[in-house]
Amino acid sequence: MQNLTILGSTGSVGCSTLDVVRRNLDRYKVFALSGFKNVELLARQIVEFNPDIAVVGGEKDLVRLKTLLPVRHSCELFCGKDALVDIAQAEKADIVMAAIVGAAGLEPSLAAAKAGKKLLLANKESLVTSGQLFMAAVKHSDALLLPIDSEHNAIFQCLPNQFDISDSSQGIRSIVLTASGGPFRAWTMEQITNASREQALAHPNWSMGAKITIDSATLMNKGLELIEACWLFSVCPDQVEVVVHPQSIIHSMVRYRDGSILAQMGAPDMKIPISYGLGWPERIDSGASALDFLSLSSLTFEAPDEIRFPCVRLAREAFSAGGTAGSVLNAANEVAVDAFLNGKIGFTKIAYVNELILNQIPVSTLDSIETVLEFDALARSQAERAVSRIAGELS
């Protein structure tokens, strides 16, 4: 029996993780859960899974959570960033699912890495903002890092055991990241400019949280995944291809020198990569539907249009710039996406704000987590000013 901490248990990945746990209660005991504002769902999860510890965002959330739980319960309740770090590095935690969305997940994810945990990384921002520091921590602590993003998990499954990009005998030529193209793949630039919140949130294949769904619509999600792939697999951006695959059946591929291509296929269901990470090196029941080949009409591929969707290019530029550029791009994007979701800016202004802030803030050496947080705060401040200016022009 392995003890599991889920950082972000009330989000889409967290809920899917608990779905897999339900099917494998003989293997996993939920040790700790964390939610942010959705205390009602967290309370239901606590009642069902009886964790030792649960963490919420703030004092008001903690008070609310206490009122929702039975009078007699054994779960210890805490709030705040320090408590997240504590459950991530707790000695009793064998596995940590890092599923907090955005830069907020960086510190607890890094704590789990430093503690040498089996770390299931769904929080791509940890590598986007501090890849060098994060991978150094994994190596130093001998943590087991398993990617949970469907694309990176697919790549992991297609690579040789003991993968080493510098080992020419393994014959790896490139990595291919697939993208659905989002809801606006076939839209004109004029249509995209006038896209509404509801249209942007209508992803054709995946069921995800609002922030990740908007990132998919702008293709920033694929840009962040490009950066994540570079750190995870020690490759350069020119070794990572991005291909739009609207059906979301092939989740990613690896090209080999002999002309072979290995692809991982499956239904678009996050329970598949989650179960792979939880069970690795074994395979366990995920509860996902089996892929029916006879129901597939076609599998199509196309190049991403970086004129209509410039965020992949911005991510490539940020990785090449190095240092604090990834942290700056990620912070600007989080501010811009939030502004769009709240009706302050139009859809195409997300990429505009991202590029503006990325070019506005000089790149600095990334030497500590404090530097990451400093440039994250700086980028957020400047992005918020840019959003206010754009909103003023619209009013």
Model confidence over 217-256: pLDDT tens digits? 999 999 999 999 999 999 999 999 999 999 999 999 999 9
SS (H, E, C) 212-274: HHHHHHHCHHHHHHHHHHHHHHCCCHHHEEEEECCCCCEEEEEEECCCCEEEEECCCCCHHHH
Binding-site positions for Mn(2+): 149, 151, 225
Measured distance CA(84)–CA(90) in Å, rounded = 10
Closest CA to 328 of 317, 340, 343: 317
For residue 68, with 0-12 CB atoms within 10 Å meaning exposed, 13-18 middle and 19 or more buried, which class applies?
middle
Residue type for position 347: F
Binding-site positions for NADPH: 10-13, 37-38, 123, 125, 209
Measured distance CA(333)–CA(111) in Å, rounded = 24
Binding-site positions: 10-13, 37-38, 123-125, 149-151, 180, 203, 209, 216, 221-222, 225
pLDDT per position as a tens digit, 182-218 = 999 999 999 999 999 999 998 877 767 888 899 999 9
pLDDT per position as a tens digit, 124-162 = 889 999 999 999 999 999 999 999 999 999 999 999 887
Measured distance CA(364)–CA(367) in Å, rounded = 9
Binding-site positions for 1-deoxy-D-xylulose 5-phosphate: 124, 150-151, 180, 203, 216, 221-222, 225
Say what the pTM is.
Answer: 0.91
Q: Please, what are the domains in the chain? A: 2-147 (3.40.50.720), 166-266+304-394 (1.10.1740.10)
Instruction: Give φ, ψ of 364 to 5 degrees.
Output: -125, 160
